[in-house]
Amino acid sequence: MTHKIKTPFFVFNPKSYLYGEELVALAKRADELAVKHPECSILVTVPFADIAAVKNATENIIVTAQHMDGIYPGRGIGHVLPESIYHAGARAVFLNHAERPMTVSALAQSIKRAKELGIQTIVCADSISESKAVAVMGAEVILCEPTELIGTGKTSDSSYIEQTNQAIKEIDDTILVMQAAGISKAEDVYRTIELGADGTGCTSGITNADSPAEMLTDMVEALVKAYKERG
Protein backbone atom coordinates (compact mmCIF):
# COMPACT_ATOMS: atom_id res chain seq x y z
CA MET A 1 0.00 0.00 0.00
CA THR A 2 1.31 3.42 -0.96
CA HIS A 3 0.59 6.27 1.43
CA LYS A 4 -0.01 9.41 -0.62
CA ILE A 5 1.78 12.43 0.84
CA LYS A 6 -0.76 14.58 2.68
CA THR A 7 -0.70 18.18 3.85
CA PRO A 8 0.89 18.94 6.21
CA PHE A 9 3.90 16.65 6.01
CA PHE A 10 7.21 16.34 7.83
CA VAL A 11 10.41 14.83 6.47
CA PHE A 12 13.08 13.48 8.81
CA ASN A 13 16.18 13.34 6.62
CA PRO A 14 19.07 11.82 8.58
CA LYS A 15 21.32 11.79 5.47
CA SER A 16 24.39 9.77 6.52
CA TYR A 17 24.29 10.73 10.21
CA LEU A 18 22.35 7.62 11.19
CA TYR A 19 22.20 3.99 10.07
CA GLY A 20 21.36 0.56 11.41
CA GLU A 21 19.66 0.13 14.78
CA GLU A 22 19.82 3.80 15.75
CA LEU A 23 18.04 4.80 12.54
CA VAL A 24 15.42 2.05 12.95
CA ALA A 25 14.71 3.23 16.51
CA LEU A 26 14.00 6.79 15.33
CA ALA A 27 11.95 5.52 12.39
CA LYS A 28 9.82 3.62 14.91
CA ARG A 29 9.25 6.86 16.85
CA ALA A 30 8.24 8.54 13.59
CA ASP A 31 5.85 5.65 12.96
CA GLU A 32 4.25 6.17 16.38
CA LEU A 33 3.81 9.87 15.61
CA ALA A 34 2.19 9.00 12.26
CA VAL A 35 -0.37 6.90 14.14
CA LYS A 36 -0.99 9.70 16.65
CA HIS A 37 -1.40 12.30 13.88
CA PRO A 38 -3.08 10.53 10.94
CA GLU A 39 -4.00 13.90 9.42
CA CYS A 40 -0.37 14.46 8.41
CA SER A 41 2.28 12.46 6.56
CA ILE A 42 5.68 11.65 8.03
CA LEU A 43 8.50 10.67 5.71
CA VAL A 44 11.89 9.28 6.72
CA THR A 45 14.69 9.33 4.17
CA VAL A 46 16.88 6.29 4.49
CA PRO A 47 20.32 5.25 3.19
CA PHE A 48 19.86 2.60 0.50
CA ALA A 49 21.27 -0.23 2.63
CA ASP A 50 18.76 0.48 5.42
CA ILE A 51 15.56 0.83 3.36
CA ALA A 52 14.36 -2.74 3.85
CA ALA A 53 15.11 -2.76 7.59
CA VAL A 54 13.22 0.50 8.16
CA LYS A 55 10.32 -0.63 5.99
CA ASN A 56 10.04 -3.93 7.89
CA ALA A 57 10.04 -2.09 11.24
CA THR A 58 7.33 0.45 10.37
CA GLU A 59 3.85 0.65 8.88
CA ASN A 60 2.69 4.26 8.78
CA ILE A 61 5.62 6.41 7.66
CA ILE A 62 6.56 6.86 4.01
CA VAL A 63 10.00 5.29 3.60
CA THR A 64 11.97 7.54 1.27
CA ALA A 65 15.13 6.90 -0.73
CA GLN A 66 17.81 9.59 -0.81
CA HIS A 67 18.38 9.37 -4.58
CA MET A 68 17.48 7.28 -7.61
CA ASP A 69 18.87 6.99 -11.13
CA GLY A 70 16.54 6.97 -14.12
CA ILE A 71 17.74 3.61 -15.39
CA TYR A 72 16.01 0.36 -16.31
CA PRO A 73 17.05 -3.13 -15.18
CA GLY A 74 20.17 -4.19 -17.02
CA ARG A 75 23.57 -2.57 -17.24
CA GLY A 76 24.52 0.10 -14.68
CA ILE A 77 26.88 -1.02 -11.93
CA GLY A 78 26.96 1.32 -8.94
CA HIS A 79 23.76 3.09 -9.96
CA VAL A 80 20.52 3.15 -7.97
CA LEU A 81 17.88 1.12 -9.79
CA PRO A 82 14.29 2.36 -9.26
CA GLU A 83 12.91 -1.19 -9.12
CA SER A 84 15.47 -2.03 -6.43
CA ILE A 85 14.45 0.73 -4.01
CA TYR A 86 10.76 0.01 -4.69
CA HIS A 87 11.29 -3.66 -3.90
CA ALA A 88 13.12 -2.72 -0.70
CA GLY A 89 10.12 -0.65 0.42
CA ALA A 90 10.71 2.96 -0.67
CA ARG A 91 7.60 4.76 -1.87
CA ALA A 92 9.11 8.22 -2.25
CA VAL A 93 12.49 9.55 -3.36
CA PHE A 94 14.54 12.72 -3.01
CA LEU A 95 15.98 14.00 -6.27
CA ASN A 96 18.45 16.80 -7.07
CA HIS A 97 19.49 17.52 -3.50
CA ALA A 98 22.37 20.00 -3.19
CA GLU A 99 24.52 17.09 -1.98
CA ARG A 100 23.46 14.93 -4.97
CA PRO A 101 22.75 17.35 -7.85
CA MET A 102 21.44 16.11 -11.20
CA THR A 103 21.48 17.41 -14.76
CA VAL A 104 18.13 18.47 -16.20
CA SER A 105 17.98 15.43 -18.49
CA ALA A 106 18.88 13.00 -15.67
CA LEU A 107 16.29 14.57 -13.38
CA ALA A 108 13.57 14.36 -16.03
CA GLN A 109 14.39 10.69 -16.62
CA SER A 110 14.31 9.86 -12.91
CA ILE A 111 10.94 11.59 -12.47
CA LYS A 112 9.61 9.60 -15.44
CA ARG A 113 10.83 6.30 -13.94
CA ALA A 114 9.39 7.18 -10.53
CA LYS A 115 5.98 7.80 -12.07
CA GLU A 116 6.12 4.43 -13.86
CA LEU A 117 6.60 2.65 -10.53
CA GLY A 118 4.36 4.78 -8.30
CA ILE A 119 7.25 6.32 -6.36
CA GLN A 120 6.46 9.87 -5.22
CA THR A 121 9.12 12.45 -6.02
CA ILE A 122 10.47 15.20 -3.77
CA VAL A 123 12.59 17.39 -6.03
CA CYS A 124 14.93 20.01 -4.63
CA ALA A 125 15.12 23.46 -6.20
CA ASP A 126 17.46 26.30 -5.24
CA SER A 127 15.76 29.33 -6.79
CA ILE A 128 12.30 30.48 -7.85
CA SER A 129 13.14 29.91 -11.53
CA GLU A 130 14.40 26.39 -10.76
CA SER A 131 11.23 25.72 -8.76
CA LYS A 132 9.14 26.67 -11.80
CA ALA A 133 11.13 24.35 -14.07
CA VAL A 134 10.70 21.44 -11.68
CA ALA A 135 6.97 22.17 -11.41
CA VAL A 136 6.66 21.80 -15.19
CA MET A 137 8.45 18.41 -14.93
CA GLY A 138 5.64 17.16 -12.70
CA ALA A 139 7.20 16.52 -9.30
CA GLU A 140 4.76 15.64 -6.50
CA VAL A 141 6.67 17.74 -3.96
CA ILE A 142 9.15 20.56 -4.54
CA LEU A 143 11.65 21.34 -1.80
CA CYS A 144 12.51 25.03 -2.14
CA GLU A 145 15.79 25.44 -0.35
CA PRO A 146 18.51 28.01 -0.99
CA THR A 147 21.68 25.90 -1.00
CA GLU A 148 23.64 28.42 1.05
CA LEU A 149 21.24 27.99 4.00
CA ILE A 150 21.43 24.19 4.28
CA GLY A 151 22.72 23.16 7.69
CA THR A 152 23.25 26.75 8.85
CA GLY A 153 20.34 27.05 11.25
CA LYS A 154 19.17 30.09 9.26
CA THR A 155 15.72 29.74 7.73
CA SER A 156 14.52 31.21 4.43
CA ASP A 157 13.02 34.66 4.76
CA SER A 158 9.27 35.05 4.51
CA SER A 159 9.35 36.68 1.06
CA TYR A 160 11.28 33.71 -0.44
CA ILE A 161 8.81 31.25 1.10
CA GLU A 162 5.75 33.17 -0.08
CA GLN A 163 7.11 33.83 -3.60
CA THR A 164 8.14 30.22 -4.25
CA ASN A 165 4.84 28.92 -2.91
CA GLN A 166 2.94 31.24 -5.27
CA ALA A 167 5.14 30.53 -8.30
CA ILE A 168 4.71 26.77 -8.00
CA LYS A 169 0.97 26.80 -7.27
CA GLU A 170 0.37 29.03 -10.32
CA ILE A 171 1.85 26.29 -12.51
CA ASP A 172 0.18 23.34 -10.76
CA ASP A 173 -1.77 23.80 -7.55
CA THR A 174 -1.65 20.05 -6.80
CA ILE A 175 2.13 20.17 -6.25
CA LEU A 176 3.05 20.26 -2.58
CA VAL A 177 5.63 22.84 -1.52
CA MET A 178 8.24 21.98 1.09
CA GLN A 179 10.35 24.68 2.77
CA ALA A 180 13.10 23.36 5.02
CA ALA A 181 16.22 25.52 4.87
CA GLY A 182 17.84 25.92 8.28
CA ILE A 183 15.12 24.20 10.31
CA SER A 184 16.72 23.54 13.70
CA LYS A 185 13.95 23.76 16.31
CA ALA A 186 10.21 23.32 16.69
CA GLU A 187 9.63 27.09 16.42
CA ASP A 188 11.17 27.05 12.92
CA VAL A 189 8.74 24.33 11.90
CA TYR A 190 5.78 26.31 13.24
CA ARG A 191 6.86 29.51 11.43
CA THR A 192 7.42 27.75 8.10
CA ILE A 193 3.97 26.12 8.10
CA GLU A 194 2.39 29.36 9.32
CA LEU A 195 3.86 31.12 6.25
CA GLY A 196 2.06 28.72 3.92
CA ALA A 197 4.35 25.76 3.24
CA ASP A 198 2.67 22.37 2.82
CA GLY A 199 5.48 20.66 4.66
CA THR A 200 8.95 20.95 6.12
CA GLY A 201 11.73 18.77 7.45
CA CYS A 202 14.99 18.57 9.34
CA THR A 203 18.34 16.80 9.53
CA SER A 204 20.98 17.99 11.99
CA GLY A 205 18.48 19.75 14.26
CA ILE A 206 17.22 16.26 15.11
CA THR A 207 20.36 14.13 14.80
CA ASN A 208 22.44 16.55 16.92
CA ALA A 209 19.78 17.13 19.58
CA ASP A 210 20.31 15.88 23.14
CA SER A 211 17.33 13.62 22.51
CA PRO A 212 16.68 13.14 18.78
CA ALA A 213 13.43 11.30 19.53
CA GLU A 214 12.11 14.20 21.63
CA MET A 215 13.13 16.78 19.02
CA LEU A 216 11.41 14.78 16.28
CA THR A 217 8.29 14.62 18.43
CA ASP A 218 8.38 18.36 19.19
CA MET A 219 8.76 19.22 15.50
CA VAL A 220 5.86 17.03 14.38
CA GLU A 221 3.67 18.48 17.15
CA ALA A 222 4.60 22.01 15.99
CA LEU A 223 3.77 21.08 12.38
CA VAL A 224 0.30 19.83 13.31
CA LYS A 225 -0.40 22.80 15.61
CA ALA A 226 0.67 25.40 13.02
CA TYR A 227 -1.42 23.82 10.26
CA LYS A 228 -4.53 23.67 12.45
CA GLU A 229 -4.12 27.26 13.57
CA ARG A 230 -3.46 28.41 9.99
CA GLY A 231 -6.92 27.16 9.13
Residues with catalytic annotation?
97, 145
CA separation for the pair 63, 51 (Å, rounded): 7
